[in-house]
Structure 1
């Protein structure tokens, strides 16, 4: 139902300010119950396509439904999109990033909802691409070491990477062990690349893209302070693209398809399994 109504809004059949049918009318049209209607309307409200989805008057199409809203911080945008992705029976998540810190944080609302019975996917499959431990990455590195000869910043990065990956795998495996999700698969591979951007592909139909910005900061490692050039992660904005018509025709569909092919090309060629110590 949400997909059908979204198509009507994005195609212009339902213009900004137009009122939707009542919940009773929608339940009859789609041959479903009021609970399913409310869930579909709430999905569209969270996407910014509807306003006034509470009790009373029928909701209306948001005035900015056909415009491109400003991208939001990675943890907020990803958390919202993951929650919607977890409504599917079979969930797939593909990630290219420096670590899985943002993913770990953004998954929390969805896994809590699964524990409460609000979401009930039958399977979750996660594929993650991270930078190789033996690659000479451009970042992070000491501010005073422009040639990157000091190994400590990269050693710190890979320790963080392993910590976040272990937490991610453990958290998702717990859902399977508690019989909340029947099938859970988490596979981590590495590539000899320095990520300058982060990508999240959700259920093969949505792509979230954000740039890493470089900034100097002070960190502690093994009891010492280091001034390093590092990247902004959780606070970086994510640009959302989805399959379906938009202001640029089929731009979203093309972007998602190309991003999926790009990810698969890395995954099936130079990517190597990450060994957790």
Structure 2
């Protein structure tokens, strides 16, 4: 819409949502992860069973078929296609959870089938996404750039938080993507130029990662700082200007509110410790 200048002349103003055209392979893992817990939660009046598992298997097949092929990634790049590490990790999650569900349902052959596929993806990621030169898991296979989304690998169980490669990745994000108490998604130029604002969901992922690697007080300090960035009714936007603290981007941002909940749960004392 060339006749509209955009907020503070920050155009171009676009109509519609081009994301509908993007290929994002992480969605297959998101689907399976979103359903998987229901197979294990005995509180449900009616738990899913073999029929529901069989409906999920085509999602896993698709994940295995595309895990090592280029996509737009979690950030919906418009003109950048790589084999994004975060997408591959989520494809692994789809196959991993299908194997676990099959074990729960006592489907031994299907459990072995999906475990084999999960192991293949796992080995490929360890080989192609880890960079000894960078000292971290990188944004894409064979790349050198960092992306905060790889921090999620400990949360979903791809690697234990104590793995030296994960610890090194947290340290690399701390060194290169953190500014003050805010974390960028990445620092490389994208379709709109070099990023100027930090992505608050990534800050929460970093807080959680710090907690998991034992840097609890640092995690708490950053968490409290982010809470102070909320507006007068406690809401956060998608982005924040690290220099001014001004909120930018989509508002309010659900990612951020979920981040508050997850980080608060990690940083809170367990009930057993409350006297």
TM-score normalised by length of structure 2: 0.26
The structure with the largest strand share of the pair is 1
TM-score normalised by length of structure 1: 0.25
Select the structure of larger CA radius of gyration: 1
Structure number with greater CO (CA < 8 Å, separation at least 6) is 1
